[in-house]
Amino acid sequence: MKQACTFDIDQVEGQPLGWLAFQIARHLLFPERESMFHAHRFFLSFPDDTRARSIYRTLNSLGIPVAFLPPWEILPGESSDFFAPNAAARSQSIEAIVTKQARVVIATHKSAIQKIPGNSQHIISVQRGYRYRLEEIMEKLVNHSFVRVPTVDDFGQIARRGDILDIYCPGGPYRLDFFDEELERITRFDVDTQRSLDSLDHVSVMQHREYQHSPWEIDRQSVFNFADDAHVLITNRDEFYRVIERERKHCFSIDPDRILLGTSDAPEDTIWLDGFASNHVPLLNMEYEQTIASQREERFLDILGKVSAAYLSCRSPHSVDKFLELSEAYGLQLQKIDQLDGLAAGLDGYFLLNADFEESFYINDNHVLIADRDLFALATPKKAQRILGVTTYLTDLAMLQPGDYVVHVEYGVGIFRGIENLSAAGTRGDFLKIEYSRGDVLYVPNDKFHLVQKYIGSDTTGPKLDRMGSKSWEKRKSRARKSVEDIANSLTEMDALRRRHKDHTYLRDSSIYDDFVGRFPFEETSDQLKAIDETLEDMYSPFPMDRLICGDVGYGKTEVALRAAMKAVESGYQTVVLAPTTILVEQHYRTFQERFIPFGVKVEMVSRFRTAKENRLVLEKLASSKVDIVIGTHKLLGKGVSAANPALLVIDEEQRFGVKHKEKLKELKANIDVLTLTATPIPRTLHMALGGIRKMSVIETPPKDRRSIKTEVIEFDENVLRQGLMREFHRGGQVYFLHNRVETINSIALRIQSIIPEARVAVAHGQMGEANLERVMLEFSAGEHDILVCSSIVESGLDVPQANTIFINRADTFGLAQIYQLRGRVGRSERQAFCYLIIPPFDTLHEVAQKRIKAIEELSYLGAGFRLATYDLEIRGAGNLLGSEQSGQIASVGFEMYTDMLRESVRKLTGEMGDSFEPSVRTEQPAFIPEEYVDDMPARLSLYKRMSVISNENDLDAIAEELRDRFGPPPAEVQQLLEVCGMKMLAIKARIDQIYLASQGKYSFTVNEQSQVNMTKIIQLAMERKIELDPQGKVSIESKSLRQFKLFIQSVITKDGEQK
């Protein structure tokens, strides 16, 4: 039983969340100290998700066992499952609540009133070194609604490969590696790379959702039943009861008492914190965007002078370094402590505390806590999550499905019919089966898979199949190559114009830039850092930069531009930022203002939302060097607009500018650095980037907890619409309803209002008055409207994290890239987002529209924008890339081969191209990936493609380790395949035409005049009868092992400077 609480409400009044977290943590960590609390567990409920997650983050950073209970995200009684990440998070929290493992439970009012199952979510625990029957584990998991799949990539899935079992449950995914019945290894693994991460000694497997079949059929009970020994603290009593009434009101198809609490169900001894944090004044008493670093430091030092002890909260090593710099500058003596033991000992001084507090506050009259993000204007860090490498999108054979058109470099266009295991020359192996004209069939051995590409070309009818033995393929290749060479010549001439030395240079090392980087509120992803490094290197280059940054909406492209702009500004130059819409200009202006004002950088905006006089004044400042950064639409391209000292031009979504504006841009680009940002590259831009003419960086990593957008194709049905609208309205979110016909948009808005009368509906379109449009958009952004019925003006609009559902009416009339861009308006938070594509009956649509809709449905995963652009090419054809006259050439050989040809031609013209060399390595031993070892065909195809282009020993070792990790010890056939890959690398290095790995220790290879081998040494060994050498250059040797044979070849390879 808990003791009576001596909680003093007056102490809480006006305090921030961090103060409450501090008091709870101090009590739990050091219960012997005098405290306002007596129980050793807590239950806290907050009106909104933001505050709940904030205090969860703080307590978790202090090492407190804490659980956050999220609400379910579907309508009560809805006949669909909980969304997987939401269900898993709930299951994990419920386990911590019912078993009382969590010392603190944090909920929103909505989740606090939702009843939970009273049983443990635990299924099974396993420990390394113990014996288990794998079949029994799988049976248990299947009985708890886990689903068997070839490759695990979501919660509730399991996959078995031999003695390896992958399980995706809360806390996972986990990989269990058995030897017979002994569990040899347990690891977590990355679902995107499928590679193991950290090793574990034991793991508890929990249910991936709190129910078996339906969430509404299980027995539920109040979460407060498990808080009998805890202090229950609920903020904002009135809002708590409003939530109860609202949620029960929305229970249309189920008895609310079965799943929800009533107004009398809160515990009698609940502590109501009605005035909590309502009038909290920031301790540093300043807004980040209105102050500079020196002002915050002055306030910080002033506070330190008034207290006997200060705790400096650090979330990261970077924050520690910042505090240490301050200590050196001002002579402060800092000590590092663990958790709150410094306070427990009652010590005076300044202490570095490894914790995540949002705000600074006085603990009492003599003690203060200073939060790093308060002092340094930092925000919550988010760790990155890696996804599939974008560079494989065009060539990854795992994308192939039987029936797809493919291009073989030597034989032309055919149809992929699958993969078959055959015996050839007495040896078994895997072959791609490709069907050609007249029923001809080509079997491509696994070491030649890299010669096969997916066909991307015409969008109306399928390409004409080639006939094996015909010369038509070579003729088409020849014509395409001649066309490509002409284009390459013109492109390199254009590029040469930009190779003139630019007039400006940038500072390389700067503490100001480093400080700017340190204030980035998130943890950079690896590909974001790569994009930043590539951009800076281009800027340091003596030639003007022309780089494309490609990345999905919200993946961090703007940060690349911000850092480039900072580099330009600190070096004394101006930056011009161009965006296609006024609303996007407004968004960029806010972002740049927030980041640059603490550094005294002058940022201005030219927009139709400003008066003519205001715009004229900004342009005058631009011309007189009185502003550092100017952001605007095509108004900045008008006559008479000039910058005094420009060095950097940032262009957002260049494809949305008109032809005249693009011509003006060409003039602007002549001698300054250009950075172009895009979420979906237009085909021409994509082609130029892939073709080697234009440099491109791809940011493909989503922020942590970002979820794929659930995309559904529906017809206009009011019942379906209401369910989708109500689901978002019920969870307090916002909805875009896109209707692109202005003449009927108001009648559609009235219809939507009649479908969901309880919602606040607004209308926005491009023909509205400027001031009115801005007002509506900003009101929607501020949460004053629930549903925005709008035209495609929102395609590039303000960030609205609360908007997580979009309906696109007559989606069949939009281009693929446009649909993708529109869908990107939602899904910018941790919530599950929805996109509904409203179309007429599917079978009435044109074939191209059907393909477009199918592609969008298929590409619902994160980071799909780059791959979507290739689908755009496939659907619309690639003829408009380089002019309509090229469409025939592209269709004749396929887009990828055409691009390869262009890349080769450009490299030859620029002197970067070396001739290709393709050796043959044959073996009498089977060398393939057995279906029993990797039974998933896409996974096998992908592995074959990767193995066929391995170029160094490190990559070979990495793929061998990956095979062992994902599929278990490689069988003899796979070991031999890896050996063949190694020998092929050696053959390329030595330019050896053929290597033959016979059985019984007999090996041979063939050399010619181009081979990089020491022929003098080979002839000498032949004369000594240690090897055989025939007149055709065939070298034969008997060796005890393949390793000895490899060492022999390495011994005769010509070293640098050595005579052949």
State the Cα–Cα distance between residues 724 and 804, nearest whole angstrom. Answer: 11
Does residue 746 have a pLDDT over 70?
yes
**β-bridge pairing 1034-1038 and 1002-1006:** antiparallel
Contact 102, 121 (CB under 8 A): no
Closest CA to 828 of 729, 703, 737: 703
Of the chain, the percentage scoring pLDDT greater than 90 comes to 22
Residue 688 CA to chain centroid, in angstroms?
24
Give mean pLDDT, residues 839-850. Answer: 76
Residue 385 confidence (pLDDT): 37
**CATH numbers and ranges of domains, the chain:** 9-118+214-273 (3.40.50.11180), 122-206 (3.30.2060.10), 288-375 (3.40.50.11140), 523-699 (3.40.50.300), 709-861 (3.40.50.300), 920-1052 (3.90.1150.50)
Does residue 1057 have a pLDDT over 80?
no
**β-bridge pairing 182-189 and 174-179:** antiparallel
Say which range, 508-512, 583-587, 844-848, has the weakest mean pLDDT.
Answer: 844-848
Pairwise pLDDT comparison (63 vs 830), residue with the higher score: 63
Q: What pLDDT digit, counting tens, does each position of 361-373 carry? A: 888 888 888 888 7
Helix (H, G, I), strand (E, B) or coil at 61: helix
Helix (H, G, I), strand (E, B) or coil at 944: helix
Contact 385, 392 (CB under 8 A): no
Pairwise pLDDT comparison (393 vs 740), residue with the higher score: 740
Residue 559 confidence (pLDDT): 92
Say which range, 6-10, 77-81, 613-617, has the weakest mean pLDDT.
Answer: 6-10
Residue 636 confidence (pLDDT): 85
State the Cα–Cα distance between residues 542 and 25, nearest whole angstrom. Answer: 56
Q: Which amino acid is at 627?
A: V
Residue 824 confidence (pLDDT): 75
Give mean pLDDT, residues 37-44. Answer: 76
State the Cα–Cα distance between residues 39 and 270, nearest whole angstrom. Answer: 13
Does residue 499 have a pLDDT over 70?
no
Residue 555 burial by CB count (10 A; 0-12/13-18/19+): exposed, middle or buried? buried
Pairwise pLDDT comparison (878 vs 181), residue with the higher score: 181
Give mean pLDDT, residues 1037-1060. Answer: 77
Does residue 421 have a pLDDT over 70?
yes
State the Cα–Cα distance between residues 335 and 342, nearest whole angstrom. Answer: 9
**β-bridge pairing 231-235 and 271-273:** parallel
Name the pLDDT band for 971 (thresholds 50, 70, 90).
very high
**β-bridge pairing 405-408 and 1028-1029:** unpaired
Residue 942 confidence (pLDDT): 82
Residue 390 confidence (pLDDT): 32
State the Cα–Cα distance between residues 286 and 784, nearest whole angstrom. Answer: 27
Residue 392 confidence (pLDDT): 38
Q: Which amino acid is at 306?
A: K
Q: What pLDDT digit, counting tens, does each position of 748-758 carry? A: 999 999 999 98
Residue 285 confidence (pLDDT): 54
Closest CA to 706 of 553, 859, 818: 553
Pairwise pLDDT comparison (2 vs 139), residue with the higher score: 139
Residue 394 confidence (pLDDT): 39
pTM summary value: 0.74
Does residue 3 have a pLDDT over 60?
no
Residue 820 confidence (pLDDT): 73
Question: In angstroms, what CA-CA distances link 343 with 190, 338, 352, 353?
Answer: 40, 10, 12, 11
| Angle of helix 557-570 versus helix 511-518 axis, rounded to 10 | 160
Residues 247, 70, 524, 818, CA torsion sign: negative
Contact 105, 67 (CB under 8 A): yes
Helix (H, G, I), strand (E, B) or coil at 177: strand
Pairwise pLDDT comparison (105 vs 938), residue with the higher score: 105
Q: Which two tokens stand for residue 417?
A: 């019919």
Give mean pLDDT, residues 963-974. Answer: 91
